[in-house]
């Protein structure tokens, strides 16, 4: 059966590109139902879209019954995906506020289908914190955004705000169709990267973690439909699309950010390499090299995972262990001590495992004593294997409730 796309078009100069987009989607074999806002009809005519989509175009909420073939609720229900391209700042603000004062906004409020938004606007509007806040809020609610491109804008200025390339919008759509959305409706909290523990204003203690494992997990969880919060220490990676990134530096900041989101999380995956110790005191001024030997007094950082394990309700809790010796004993002890549902243990002595590299060699440990030894694989593949297990664990938990 053909997939149905409800394409919302709002009143931006980029609305003319929606005609090309409609044509591309129809050629790819999708059923496209177009809803336009009144303002959009000033830029491109419903007749153009009707001809290209081969379906009636909907504009008014209260059209006469002859043309009222599909009400907004049935359009909302019929959609496999709702795509709004271009989406104006005004439309996005309305959506964030939950308004439903025209057919398109009412459809969006009613639909349970995944929603993709491709904004297009002037750079000043795009950068305005009010707009950014609405977009951020919608991302947190699970809306997918295909962010605008940079370039010359219709208003004559240059900056971010041009409707993304149509190919990019179509890829985002196809990604949703190809992905299995087993985690849809779930909130997955992932931590990644190292932490930095300040010694003085210019120095810190840290480790070699690149963040690659945690970012791969965040991306996998997102692609499988979850709302993802990624709490990340400093690393040089692009955050995966659609993920809500919370940058942190210290173990304490990571602790605070994780605790803040723990209550709403269904799954927590702690891939971060949290520093275990921090300087007891952070010197206010840069420490001078007067002494031949210097002693730093260190204290323990909060063990975030231990805290989560001690306080978890029904969340699936996944921990990591990077070991160089006695892997099995250490892993089993850690799994129990931290009250985890799954522990992913890396043997750092194996080639292709651990920090910085793109591959990993891991063994999965479960509380019932079972283990799964995985071959060397890319971090992306390991992320997939971990998310597969998380989905199984979620289903078992649900059955037990």
Q: Which residues bind ligand C5P (CB under 6 A)?
A: 191, 251, 270, 272, 274, 276, 301, 303-305, 319-321, 334
Distance CA 78, CA 315 (A): 33
* Mode of pairing for the β-strands spanning 316-323 and 267-270: parallel
CB of 373 to ligand C5P, least distance (A): 19
Output 301 or 360, the one with its CB closest to ligand C5P.
301
Residue 50 C-beta: closest distance to ligand C5P, Å: 54
Q: How far is the CB of 334 from ligand C5P (least distance, A)?
A: 6
Closest separation in Å from C-beta 82 to ligand C5P: 37
Identity of the residue, 180 or 300, whose beta carbon is nearer to ligand C5P in the bound complex: 300
Our CB check for ligand C5P shows the closer of 12 and 301 to be: 301
**Shortest distance, CB of residue 89 to ligand C5P, whole angstroms?**
39
CB of 350 to ligand C5P, least distance (A): 17
**Is 155 among the residues known to form the active site?**
yes
Whole-angstrom distance, CA of residue 193 vs CA of residue 235: 6
Contact 228, 188 (CB under 8 A): yes
- The least distance separating ligand C5P from the CB of residue 219, rounded to whole angstroms, comes to 18
Rounded Cα gap, residues 33 and 50, in angstroms: 9
Residue closer to ligand C5P by CB (options 44, 274) is 274
184's CB contacts (< 8 A; 6+ apart) are 114, 142, 224, 225, 226
User: What does the alpha-carbon distance between residue 117 and residue 122 come to, in Å, rounded to a whole number?
Assistant: 16
Of 93, 155, 237, 245, which is the active-site residue?
155
Q: Quick one: 4 or 301, whose CB is closer to ligand C5P?
A: 301
Q: List, in sequence order, every residue forming a beta bridge with 231; answer none if it has no partner.
A: 191, 246
Q: Cα–Cα distance between 90 and 131 in angstroms, integer? A: 9
Closer Cβ to ligand C5P, 91 or 320, answer by number: 320
155 vs 348, beta carbon nearer ligand C5P: 348
d(CA 148, CA 132): 13
Active-site residue set: 155
């Amino acid at each position: 059966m053909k997939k149905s796309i409800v394409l919302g078009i709002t009143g931006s100069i980029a609305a003319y590109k929606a005609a090309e987009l409609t044509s591309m989607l129809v050629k790819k074999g999708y059923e496209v139902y177009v809803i336009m806002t009144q303002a959009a009809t000033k830029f491109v005519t419903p007749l153009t879209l009707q001809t290209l989509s081969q379906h009636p175009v909907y504009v008014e909420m209260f059209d006469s019954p002859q043309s009222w073939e599909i009400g907004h609720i049935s359009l909302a229900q019929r959609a496999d995906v709702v795509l709004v391209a271009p989406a104006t700042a005004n439309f996005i603000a309305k959506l964030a506020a939950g308004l439903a004062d025209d057919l398109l906004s009412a459809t969006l409020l009613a639909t349970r289908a995944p929603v993709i938004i491709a904004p297009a606007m002037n750079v000043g509007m795009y950068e305005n914190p009010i707009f950014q806040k609405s977009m951020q809020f919608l991302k947190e609610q699970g809306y997918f955004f295909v962010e605008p491109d940079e370039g010359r804008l219709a208003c004559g200025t240059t900056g971010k705000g041009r409707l993304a390339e149509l190919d990019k919008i179509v890829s985002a759509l196809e990604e949703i169709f190809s992905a299995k959305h087993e985690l849809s409706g779930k909130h997955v909290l992932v931590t990644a990267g190292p932490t930095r523990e300040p010694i003085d204003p210019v120095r810190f203690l840290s480790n070699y973690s690149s963040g690659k494992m945690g970012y791969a997990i965040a991306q996998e969880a997102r692609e499988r439909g979850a709302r993802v919060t990624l709490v990340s220490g400093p690393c040089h990676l692009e955050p995966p699309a659609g993920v809500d990134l919370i940058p942190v530096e210290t173990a304490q900041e990571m602790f605070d950010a994780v605790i803040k989101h723990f209550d709403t999380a269904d799954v927590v995956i702690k891939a971060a390499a949290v520093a275990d110790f921090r300087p007891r005191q952070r010197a206010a001024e840069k420490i001078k090299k007067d002494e031949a030997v210097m002693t730093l007094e260190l204290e323990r950082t909060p063990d975030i995972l231990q805290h989560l394990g001690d306080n978890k309700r029904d969340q699936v809790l996944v921990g990591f262990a990077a070991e160089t010796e006695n892997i099995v004993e250490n892993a089993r002890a850690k799994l129990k001590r931290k009250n985890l549902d799954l522990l992913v243990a890396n043997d750092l002595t194996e080639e292709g495992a651990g920090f910085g590299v793109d591959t990993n060699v891991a063994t999965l440990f479960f509380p019932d004593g079972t283990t799964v030894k995985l071959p060397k694989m890319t971090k992306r593949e390991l992320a997939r294997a971990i998310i597969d297990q998380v989905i199984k664990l979620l289903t078992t938990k649900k059955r037990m409730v």
